[in-house]
Structures are given as C-alpha cells and as structure tokens.
Amino acid sequence: MFKIEIQNPCSCVKKRKSWGQQLAFGTLEEAQKVASQMCEQGNTKFCKKHSFEVVTDGENVIINVTKATKE
C-alpha cells in the first residue's frame, strides 16, 4: 500500500477536507499521479503563500509544503 503524506501543511491545506483524509493507493504510480494533481491545485488554485512539491520515499509519496519565493 502506498500513502500520500503532507509535510508541514499550511492553513489552506488544513481547510481542504479531501487533503486531510488518509490517502492510500494500490500502486506507486497511482499515488504519484494523485499527489501531482494535488500539488498542481495547491500551486495554482488555492494557496498563493506556499509551494507544493512531490517527493517519493519508498512506499510513501510526500507532498512538501514550503514558503513560496517571490519572483
């Protein structure tokens, strides 16, 4: 079983009920696909203060939340 974990969730993430659920998948590819979609949403739709990045660590797919840099 492959899980998605969110490291250092910001208040925007905590407000999204679907992100607070335990997310587990049968394949690593499926977990990575969903995590990538989540990061895309976070980076473009609902959080302008943080950036979201997918990292794979064994059976866990981790979404790192970091303070966004101003360009």
Q: Where are the domains of the chain?
A: 24-71
Residue 70's pLDDT is what? Answer: 62
Supply the pTM of this predicted model. Answer: 0.87
Distance CA(65)–CA(38), nearest Å, equals 12
- Residue 67: burial class (beta carbons within 10 Å; 0-12, 13-18, 19+): exposed
Query: Would you state the pLDDT for residue 7?
Result: 92
Q: What percentage of the chain exceeds 70 in pLDDT?
A: 97
Q: What tens-digit pLDDT sequence spans the chain (71 residues)? A: 999 999 999 998 988 888 877 789 999 999 999 999 999 999 999 888 999 999 998 889 999 999 987 65
Q: What SS3 class is residue 46?
A: helix
| 1 DSSP 8-state letter | -
